[in-house]
Amino acid sequence: MRVTPRPVKIALAQIDTTVGAFEANAARMVDRAREAAEKGAELVLFPELALCGYPPKDFLELGEFVDRCRAALEELSTHAVFDRIAALVGFPERHRGPGAGLYNAVALLRGGQVAAIVRKSLLPTYDVFDEARYFDPAPESGPLVEVAGVRLGVSICEDLWNDKQFWKQPRYLRDPIEELAAKGAELIVNVSASPYALGKPEIRRRMVGAAARRHGLPVAMCNLVGGNDSLIFDGRSLLVRANGEVQREAAPFREDVLIDELAPRHTQPSNPEARTKGASIISDETAETPAGALAVVAAYETDLSDANCRDLADALTLGIRDYMLKTGFRSAVLGLSGGIDSALTAVLAARALGPQNVTTIAMPSRYTASMSNEDAELLAKRLGVHFHTIALEPIFQAYLKALEPLFAGREPDVTEENLQARIRGTLLMAFSNKTGALLLTTGNKSELGTGFSTLYGDMAGGLAAIGDLSKTAVYALARWFNRQSATDLIPARILSRPPTAELREDQLDEDTLPPYAELDRVLRAHVEEHLGARRLIERGFAEDLVRRVLKLVVQSEYKRRQAAPVLRVTARAFGEGWRFPIAHGYRH
């Protein structure tokens, strides 16, 4: 008979990997493995696809990308540190079956070699995830891997996300954790790249806890940290006891190595009834489909609490910083209008890059109130960022004159409004081209959703820093920043003025859009929960409001298609996770 296994000392090394930077990622893993070994850890986990970075996307279709990653893995496996500590390192593994495709795999490095390989069974192919595009599912879970006398059931991210009890019904045919438990796993290991969304960390804790409790198995989950294009990974790796309690959690939004002992499977048979209690937080309404599961995440978003605002601030700060670092930009520029959106973007940029690396430019027109300029300048001063003013009028006049012959006899309309926005976009891009600063767009999710923005105007830029924040969330986060500072960081008037684009006389956003409080609720249910008009009306939204908002969403699809990448902080952001046709005949 087998001796009851003792606790294993595990290191969760949540590192910030860069896609395609095999050598840099490997070097980072060696450093962390060394650190973990020195502290007595017996096994170190790295995030999903740690060696090639996540998500590698179509690089996976270049044969030599996969080959080079494999070569880097073989080289890494011979490093002396892995004589002292076993490691699980994610990589894409080529197979020879039909399609000659890839597995999303993890290698056990030990004793100078790749001692075992485990493959992912469940491939997320929804929202921003396209894993079925690149990978084939593992035909079966396992094999179990023995480390320090404990049989580990190794799983990869989504493999852990199909607990039928937690989700109230299965999302996939297979449950890899059940399969590993049936094979005799004594501890579940999971290497993840689970992106941040508002409220998601709590879902993750409960979901992992529920699976642990149901199977009486502890779980060690190592999650990716860092920004990769639109996606922000929050880390928060978890050690969860067999009873479902969180034993330890790694830092949010930064690299961390969490080391602790985790006790393997309960030797006492656990009480099945106790196990099932509180196993699900999913309501019947939302658990119907995988999309329904996302709705659960969205449900948390109403909670713009201090803790959630801090998460948002930290997520966006990391997202901006990593985008700049990984694309090689050192400074940023943005237009400062005196409005709330650009104010918040400036605050985030200064926080991410240091104020000395941020330039703000005010570009007042004939419609700009003097208080807008004053507030913009005051904010720039408080933040310590560079500030310039460029007058729009002479350029605007030159355009109007050039267009006069073509526009003779036509009334001014949205054309002239867009023209001003595009002059601003062009000036900012000129500054970007001349100085090498990345232009940050300042549009929010309410604008992106309704098309209340100008393509090639205020939409011009390389990164939409707050493009996944509704106007409501923008205000909440701005107020949170002000509460963090002794005196208001963002001038109070910016927060108290009614929103205006200042593109014509006495313009207010609410002349064009429904009140943001209503708009944002409809948008959230439509975008994050994918509810159509009928379901929204059933939920209690006024029919005319619903039809008006959904019409705006449909009409502005072509704009979003050309928008800058949006830092994703909710269950669904515009961008890669939102794939609607432009040309169609659907009427909500």
Judged by CB under 8 A, the chain residues 237 through 276 that form the site for a copy of itself are: none
List the beta bridge partners of residue 8: 262
Contact 247, 239 (CB under 8 A): yes
Beta strands in 268-307 (DSSP E): none
Per rule CB under 8 A, count of chain residues that contact a copy of itself? 98
The reply to whether 180 sits near a copy of itself by the rule CB under 8 A is no
How far apart are CB 336 and a copy of itself at their closest, in Å?
14
* Ranges within 220-239 binding a copy of itself (CB under 8 A): 227-229
How far apart are CB 8 and a copy of itself at their closest, in Å?
33
Residues 6 or more apart whose CB falls under 8 angstroms from that of 448 comprise 464, 467, 556, 559, 560, 563, 566, 574
Buried-state track 531-565, b at ≥16 Cβ within 10 A, e below 16? bebeebeeeebeeebbbbbbebbbebbebbeebbb
How far apart are CB 412 and a copy of itself at their closest, in Å?
10
- Provide the terminal-to-terminal Cα distance of the chain, rounded to the nearest Å: 65
Contact 57, 130 (CB under 8 A): yes
The reply to whether 207 sits near a copy of itself by the rule CB under 8 A is no
Q: Which is nearer to a copy of itself, 512 or 562 (CB)?
A: 562
The reply to whether 291 sits near a copy of itself by the rule CB under 8 A is yes
* Ranges within 89-128 binding a copy of itself (CB under 8 A): 97-101, 125-126
For residue 165 the two structure tokens come to: 């009890």
Helices 340-353 and 471-484: crossing angle in degrees, nearest 10, is 50
**What whole-number distance in Å separates Cα of residue 308 and Cα of residue 289?**
26
Q: Which is nearer to a copy of itself, 405 or 540 (CB)?
A: 405
How far apart are CB 481 and a copy of itself at their closest, in Å?
26
- Residue 91: which of 112, 120, 62 has the closest Cα? 120
**What whole-number distance in Å separates Cα of residue 523 and Cα of residue 571?**
13
The only residue of 3, 80, 173, 408 in contact with a copy of itself, by rule CB under 8 A:
173
Contact 423, 363 (CB under 8 A): yes
How far apart are CB 374 and a copy of itself at their closest, in Å?
20
Site string for a copy of itself, 557-586 (x = CB under 8 A): -x--xxxxx------------xxxxxxxxx
The only residue of 40, 111, 112, 170 in contact with a copy of itself, by rule CB under 8 A:
170
* Ranges within 359-418 binding a copy of itself (CB under 8 A): 388, 390-391, 394-395, 397-399, 401-403, 405-407, 410, 413-415, 418
Q: Which is nearer to a copy of itself, 17 or 308 (CB)?
A: 17
| Residue 48 designated active-site | yes
The reply to whether 510 sits near a copy of itself by the rule CB under 8 A is no
For residue 307 the two structure tokens come to: 């803790």
**What whole-number distance in Å separates Cα of residue 308 and Cα of residue 302?**
10
Half-sphere exposure for 190 (CA within 13 Å, toward CB): 31
* Ranges within 294-353 binding a copy of itself (CB under 8 A): 322-323, 326-327
Q: Which is nearer to a copy of itself, 13 or 460 (CB)?
A: 460
Residues 6 or more apart whose CB falls under 8 angstroms from that of 96 comprise none
Q: Which is nearer to a copy of itself, 214 or 422 (CB)?
A: 422
**What whole-number distance in Å separates Cα of residue 135 and Cα of residue 90?**
13
Contact 20, 165 (CB under 8 A): no
Q: Which is nearer to a copy of itself, 216 or 575 (CB)?
A: 575
Contact 421, 441 (CB under 8 A): no
* Ranges within 542-561 binding a copy of itself (CB under 8 A): 558, 561
The only residue of 290, 480, 539, 548 in contact with a copy of itself, by rule CB under 8 A:
290
Residues 6 or more apart whose CB falls under 8 angstroms from that of 249 comprise 205, 236, 237, 238, 239, 258
Instruction: Convert 165-177 into a string of H (helix), E (strand) and C (coil).
Output: CCCCCCCCCCCHH
The reply to whether 75 sits near a copy of itself by the rule CB under 8 A is no
* Ranges within 24-63 binding a copy of itself (CB under 8 A): 24, 53, 55-59, 61-63
The reply to whether 71 sits near a copy of itself by the rule CB under 8 A is no
The reply to whether 501 sits near a copy of itself by the rule CB under 8 A is no
| Residue 411 designated active-site | no
Q: In this structure, what DSSP letter does residue 357 have?
A: G
For residue 435 the two structure tokens come to: 């100085």
Selecting among 9, 52, 93, 120, the annotated active-site residue is 120
Selecting among 48, 301, 417, 502, the annotated active-site residue is 48
The only residue of 423, 474, 513, 519 in contact with a copy of itself, by rule CB under 8 A:
423
Site string for a copy of itself, 131-150 (x = CB under 8 A): -xx-----------------
The only residue of 165, 270, 373, 426 in contact with a copy of itself, by rule CB under 8 A:
426
In total, the chain counts a number of residues equal to 588
**What whole-number distance in Å separates Cα of residue 472 and Cα of residue 327?**
31
In the three-class reduction of DSSP (H, G, I as helix; E, B as strand; rest coil), residue 423 is classed as helix
In this structure, the number of other CB atoms found within 10 A of the CB of residue 76 comes to 25
How far apart are CB 29 and a copy of itself at their closest, in Å?
15
* Ranges within 438-467 binding a copy of itself (CB under 8 A): 455-456, 460, 462
Stretch near a copy of itself under the rule CB under 8 A, chosen from 171-179, 181-189, 303-311, 483-491: 171-179
Selecting among 157, 249, 326, 559, the annotated active-site residue is 157
Stretch near a copy of itself under the rule CB under 8 A, chosen from 104-112, 248-256, 431-439, 480-488: 431-439
Q: Which residues are catalytic?
A: 48, 120, 157
